[in-house]
Amino acid sequence: MLLFPESISPRSPRFIAVAALLVVLAIVPPIAANAGGPFYVTLALRILVFALAAASLNLLLGYAGLVSFGHALYLGIGAYVVAILSFHGVTNGWLHLGVALALSAIIAFLTGLVCLRTSGIAFIMITLAFAQMFFFLATSLKYYGGDDGLAVARRSDFEPLFSIQSNTGLYYVTVVVLVATLYLSWRLVHSRLGRVLRGASSNVRRMEALGFPVLRYRLAAYVMAGCVCGFAGLLLGNLARFASPAYMAWTVSGDLIVMIILGGVATIVGPLIGAIVYVILETIIAAYTQHWMVVLGPIILLVALFAKRGIYGSFLAWERRIDFAR
Amino acid sequence: MTAAILSIRGLAKRFGANVVSGNIDLDLVTNEVHAVIGPNGAGKTTLINQVIGELTPDAGTIYFDGRDITALPVYQRSLLGLSRSYQITSVFPGFTALENVSIAAQGHDGHSFGVWHPAAREETLTAASLASLQQVGLAEKAYCLASELAHGERRQLELAMALVSKSKVLLLDEPMAGMGRRESESMVQLLSMLKGQYTMLLIEHDMDAVFALADRISVLVYGKIIATGSPSEIRNSPEVRKAYLGESYASA
Amino acid sequence: MTWSLFFVQALNGLQYGVLLFLLAAGLTLVFGIMNFVNLAHGSFYMLGAYLGAAVYSASGSFVLAGVAAVTGALVIGVAIERTTLIAFYARDHLYQVLATVGLILFFNEIARILWGSSAIYMRAPQAFTGAISLMGILYPSYRFLVIAVGLAVAVGLYVLIHHTRIGMLTRAGATNLRLVSVLGINIRLLNTALFGLGAALAGLAGLMAAPILAVQPGMGDNIIVTVLLVIVVGGIGSIRGAFFGALIVGLVDTIGRVYLPILLSHLTERDSADAAGSALASMLIYLFMAVVLAVRPQGLFPMPR
């Protein structure tokens, strides 16, 4: 089927698993309505928004080998665009989206130009530093709430095409955006650009000697990832009806990285699985104790120590093994 | 006298007090196989690194096909027709042999900003890659992961990657490194088939291979070229014998 | 814009820079040898501050508090390194960073459990609560003490690195680790020693900072990013880079925060100038870092490799 960039049998475990996941995603709101109401839709929305952000980071971290530790910056950008424009009476959703994407692209381009000239630990540190810079910038914007953040006066208005004023509406829009992103990421990974990124992740020197101006391609990926995360930020701002500098704290970038590793680095579906597990885990532990960080901290440590392929990655490895056995 | 396709003039590089390249002059004539030999640590790999642009010389100029490429970045030199293989195998372990060569072909086939179409389905890239794999005798292993190939096969893959982009000049850094006798002989056969179609700068320690393949030989000792000439001239040169005093010509 | 204001702010910048140096030195040493970045370094800073504050309020002796902070941080640091971090030396930077993030969250919460969420304020020791007079200008004597202690540590580190056997091994290990280990030196022990030294310095920094800043959970989180910036600007792995980088960043940040709003309000008469000035001031060191890296990606005083 030309819809898929690689050949997958409809009977393979992978196909079935992903199809099941999509079905579950589609039926959450009606089930939640029966089971216990709006809390579950909000929870699911949080999971999906972070899954989107993590998926955008996975392109850089998993496939291109670029460990960006400041990706949460774009979550903040998206949320603040919604809050600030709404504050000034501008509620047109398409305008919100356009500005969020444009701003994310510009900032990603400028910071990328500096970061991508470095590698290894320097790259990690510099991406962290830039995110911190915007964190401080946001806290110093006293007019827009500063440290306390800014409430979103009215959600982005996408009518008459669709409405995200209700959580259910927002939920389905988020599902569509997430699924589209995962699909396009899948295509990108197998495309020419995907090959360049994956090859460069393995050996930059070699890629240059083969005729590829690697920086250019990495910058393109960096900008794309920033834009998608900016979109996630817009959705987050709408979900929480709030924009806060806390969205850009580097601990949030750390959360995204944990989700990716937990779910499976360099897999398309991994970030979604990781987001589901991590957010649910966090919610359960928080319900037991207000000091849930004391438990989550060591869990992150254990994930870093033991999770080599992640949940979905291990599933794919198992699938390959049974394939060989046939 | 046929024109030199690659000319190195006054190339100099030092690391601290260590002179790695000392005022090197070298000409590469079109379609010749020019071997560079010398004791370990003579600066042979550093020479290739400077020609391809991975290392910046302290002084000197490099001319390729008539133009001064000394200031050009690596990828542009590659696009002009200069390609190299590495002494330490640098294939991409996570990709198949075919994908490795296909990536090499992709580098010289326009831009790579495509984000939609699967590269594996590009007929021209795949066809060219299979042809190169065929050329080096690796066609059967096209769909094996590069990490699963034997050492000698990986060296062959390196060569296929250098060939697929139809380069004008191949800079080969010890293509037979780490190979056993039989593998070395296959590689020599392969390279002699390519002789006359490609210009090659060949760095090698294997003297049998060097004397079988080279049209001309330059001898590099402590960063300086002490002799350049035909194989028989070099074999009989007293300076060269002195430089190799204590070393034998027997190959591994 | 008076000279006395500038002089005082320059001294403040120096004091901040010296604090950054105490933190940067340990971090860059460990990174230079083991290629391991420890973001949890900020936790040693925090623990040093808490331990110091606790001992000071119990005993009234600043010196005792200092000993507690330094040894406490040292012991905890070595314990963490030996039990947890050692498993990550062979791993990718990604996993190292992730592991240390987990540690940071854990320590912050431990601090919250033991000492509560609200900030603790510690007073400067009795002997240093006044001001001294420098060239006719009054400057808080405690801050001057911080500068003095920091410079003393810098001198001590210089002597250690350049005039002792351990220092020589450190310098050798930073350039060629395999060679040093082949010579029979116990690299693990060397690294633990360096790590312990770094943690101790961080603890000292925490104690010295306590009377100036507030002691609270997470106090290490923000300063550690500045420390990373210092190391990147100075040159990763280089103590000299850490020293000069720290001083430069300290001065740029402090002077920038004071003078940028003033400068902007001179240029435009509007209210927003003050807000814009402070916003720009908070971004200043990052812009500075970007400029340095654009011109010299390896930092100002990189280690020769």
> For B158-191, what is the HEC assignment?
HHHHHHHCCCCEEEEECCCCCCCHHHHHHHHHHH
CB C285 within 8 A of CB C249: yes
The Cα of B159 is separated from the nearest Cα of chain A by a number of Å equal to 12
For A68, which residue in chain C has the nearest alpha carbon?
A: C94
Nearest CB neighbour to C297, from listed A118, A128, A291: A118
Residue C248's pLDDT is 93
Looking at the DSSP bridge assignments, the partners of residue C139 are C132
Residue B252's pLDDT is 34
* Residue carrying the six token digits 């309020």: C57
CB B75 within 8 A of CB A213: yes
Contact C109/A305, CB-based, under 8 Å? Answer: no
The Cα of A314 is separated from the nearest Cα of chain C by a number of Å equal to 18
Contact A141/C87, CB-based, under 8 Å? Answer: no
Residue C174's pLDDT is 66
The residue ranges of every structural domain in chain A are: 13-325
d(Cα C20, Cα C38) in Å, to the nearest integer? 15
Establish if C264 belongs to a structural domain: yes
Q: Please check the confidence at residue B16 and state whether its pLDDT lies above 50.
A: yes
Most confident region among B38-42, B221-225, C44-48 by mean pLDDT = C44-48
Contact A297/C105, CB-based, under 8 Å? Answer: yes
With contacts defined as CB-CB under 8 Å, which chain B residues touch A214? 75
With contacts defined as CB-CB under 8 Å, which chain A residues touch B85? none
CA-based nearest residue to A169, from A29, A3, A324: A29
Q: B41: helix, coil or strand?
A: coil
Establish if C305 belongs to a structural domain: no
Which of A14-18, A304-308, B29-33, B144-148 is predicted with the least confidence, judged by mean pLDDT?
A304-308
The Cα of B234 is separated from the nearest Cα of chain A by a number of Å equal to 32
**Is cis: bond before B73, omega within 30 of 0?**
no
Mutate which: B55, B85, B115, vs A, most A CBs within 10 A: B115
Establish if C187 belongs to a structural domain: yes
Average pLDDT, chain C: 86
CA-only gyration radius of chain A, Å: 20
Confidence of residue B111 (pLDDT cuts 50, 70, 90): very high
For C31, which residue in chain A has the nearest alpha carbon?
A: A121
Nearest CB neighbour to B119, from listed A192, A210, A220: A192
pLDDT, tens only, C214-235: 899 989 988 998 999 999 899 8
CB C220 within 8 A of CB C78: no
Helix (H) or strand (E) holding C285: helix C272-295
Q: Could you tell me how many residues make up chain C? A: 305
Q: Between β-strands B59-64 and B224-229, what pairing exists: parallel, antiparallel or unpaired?
A: unpaired
pLDDT, tens only, B45-91: 999 999 999 999 999 999 999 899 999 999 999 999 999 999 888 99
Contact C88/A304, CB-based, under 8 Å? Answer: yes
Helix (H) or strand (E) holding A123: helix A120-140
User: CATH number for the domain including C291?
Assistant: 1.10.3470
- B31, B41, B202, C278 from B188: Cα distances, Å: 17, 24, 12, 69
With contacts defined as CB-CB under 8 Å, which chain B residues touch A217? 112-113
The Cα of B227 is separated from the nearest Cα of chain A by a number of Å equal to 29
Contact C278/A140, CB-based, under 8 Å? Answer: yes
Average pLDDT, chain B: 89
Confidence of residue B1 (pLDDT cuts 50, 70, 90): very low
Q: Please check the confidence at residue C180 and state whether its pLDDT lies above 80.
A: no
Specify the number of domains making up chain C. Answer: 1
d(Cα C264, Cα C248) in Å, to the nearest integer? 22
The Cα of B244 is separated from the nearest Cα of chain A by a number of Å equal to 33
The Cα of C66 is separated from the nearest Cα of chain A by a number of Å equal to 27
For A134, which residue in chain C has the nearest alpha carbon?
A: C283
For A126, which residue in chain C has the nearest alpha carbon?
A: C229
d(Cα B25, Cα A259) in Å, to the nearest integer? 56
Establish if C258 belongs to a structural domain: yes
With contacts defined as CB-CB under 8 Å, which chain A residues touch C104? 251, 297
Contact B54/A205, CB-based, under 8 Å? Answer: yes
Establish if C89 belongs to a structural domain: yes
CA-based nearest residue to C69, from C226, C203, C193, C162: C203
Contact C103/A291, CB-based, under 8 Å? Answer: no
Establish if C303 belongs to a structural domain: no
- B12, B20, B24, C258 from B15: Cα distances, Å: 11, 7, 16, 45
**B125-144 as b/e: b if 16+ CB within 10 A:** bbebbbebbebbbbeebbee
Looking at the DSSP bridge assignments, the partners of residue B15 are B18
DSSP strands (E only) in A130-226: 150-151
CB-based burial of residue C246 (10 Å sphere; 0-12 exposed, 13-18 middle, 19+ buried)?
buried
Contact A190/B119, CB-based, under 8 Å? Answer: yes
The Cα of B122 is separated from the nearest Cα of chain A by a number of Å equal to 10
Establish if C184 belongs to a structural domain: yes
Q: Distance from CA of residue B197 to its chain's centroid?
A: 15
**A78-109 as b/e: b if 16+ CB within 10 A:** bbbbbbbbbbeebbebeebbebbbebbbebbe
For residues B17 and A76, which has the higher predicted lDDT (pLDDT)? Answer: A76
Please say whether the dihedral angle defined by the alpha carbons of residues A138, A140, A146 and A150, taken in this order, is positive or negative: negative
Which of A162-171, B79-88, C182-191, C282-291 is predicted with the least confidence, judged by mean pLDDT?
C182-191
End-to-end CA distance of chain B: 36
Contact A190/B120, CB-based, under 8 Å? Answer: yes
d(Cα A60, Cα A66) in Å, to the nearest integer? 5
Nearest CB neighbour to A67, from listed C93, C99, C293: C93
For A132, which residue in chain C has the nearest alpha carbon?
A: C225
Mutate which: B49, B103, B163, vs A, most A CBs within 10 A: B103
Residue B238's pLDDT is 84
* Residue carrying the six token digits 């649910």: A280
The Cα of B145 is separated from the nearest Cα of chain A by a number of Å equal to 14
Confidence of residue B250 (pLDDT cuts 50, 70, 90): very low
Which chains form contacts with chain C, at 3 or more CB pairs under 8 Å?
A
**What contacts C227, CB < 8 A, 6 or more positions away?**
C20, C23, C24, C27, C41, C42
Residue C259's pLDDT is 85
Residue B17's pLDDT is 81
Which residues of chain A are at the B interface, by a Cβ-Cβ cutoff of 8 Å?
Answer: 5-6, 184, 187-188, 190-196, 198-199, 202-203, 205-214, 217, 220
Mutate which: A293, A296, A302, A306, vs C, most C CBs within 10 A: A293
For residues C249 and C5, which has the higher predicted lDDT (pLDDT)? Answer: C249
With contacts defined as CB-CB under 8 Å, which chain C residues touch A250? 221, 225
pLDDT, tens only, C126-163: 778 888 887 778 888 889 899 999 999 999 988 888 88
Residue B2's pLDDT is 60
Q: B96: helix, coil or strand?
A: strand
Establish if C301 belongs to a structural domain: no
Helix (H) or strand (E) holding B25: strand B18-29
d(Cα A126, Cα A73) in Å, to the nearest integer? 13
CB B225 within 8 A of CB B194: no
CB C24 within 8 A of CB A125: no
Residue B251's pLDDT is 37
Sheet with B4-15, strands from edge to edge, namely B18-29, B4-15, B59-64, B67-68
Which chains form contacts with chain A, at 3 or more CB pairs under 8 Å?
B, C
CB-based burial of residue A191 (10 Å sphere; 0-12 exposed, 13-18 middle, 19+ buried)?
buried
**What contacts C106, CB < 8 A, 6 or more positions away?**
A293, A294, A297, A298, A301
**Structural domain containing residue C63:** 3-295
With contacts defined as CB-CB under 8 Å, which chain B residues touch A320? none
Contact B116/A191, CB-based, under 8 Å? Answer: yes
Inter-chain Cβ pairs, chain A and chain C, closer than 8 A: 133
Contact B114/A191, CB-based, under 8 Å? Answer: yes
Q: Could you tell me how many residues make up chain A? A: 326
Q: Please check the confidence at residue C303 and state whether its pLDDT lies above 80.
A: no
Contact B54/A209, CB-based, under 8 Å? Answer: yes
d(Cα A28, Cα C285) in Å, to the nearest integer? 46
Mutate which: A195, A218, A219, A222, vs B, most B CBs within 10 A: A195
**Domains of chain B, CATH where assigned:** 1-81+168-252 (3.40.50.300), 89-166 (no CATH)
CA-only gyration radius of chain B, Å: 18
pLDDT, tens only, C84-126: 888 888 888 889 888 998 999 999 999 999 998 888 888 888 7
CB A285 within 8 A of CB A295: yes
- String of DSSP letters for C122-169: -PPPGGGSSEEEETTEEEEHHHHHHHHHHHHHHHHHHHHHHHSHHHHH
Confidence of residue A143 (pLDDT cuts 50, 70, 90): confident
Which whole number is the average pLDDT over B27-40? 90
The Cα of B170 is separated from the nearest Cα of chain A by a number of Å equal to 12
Contact A203/B90, CB-based, under 8 Å? Answer: yes
Which whole number is the average pLDDT over A93-120? 94
Q: Please check the confidence at residue B195 and state whether its pLDDT lies above 90.
A: no
Mutate which: A207, A210, A216, A224, vs B, most B CBs within 10 A: A210
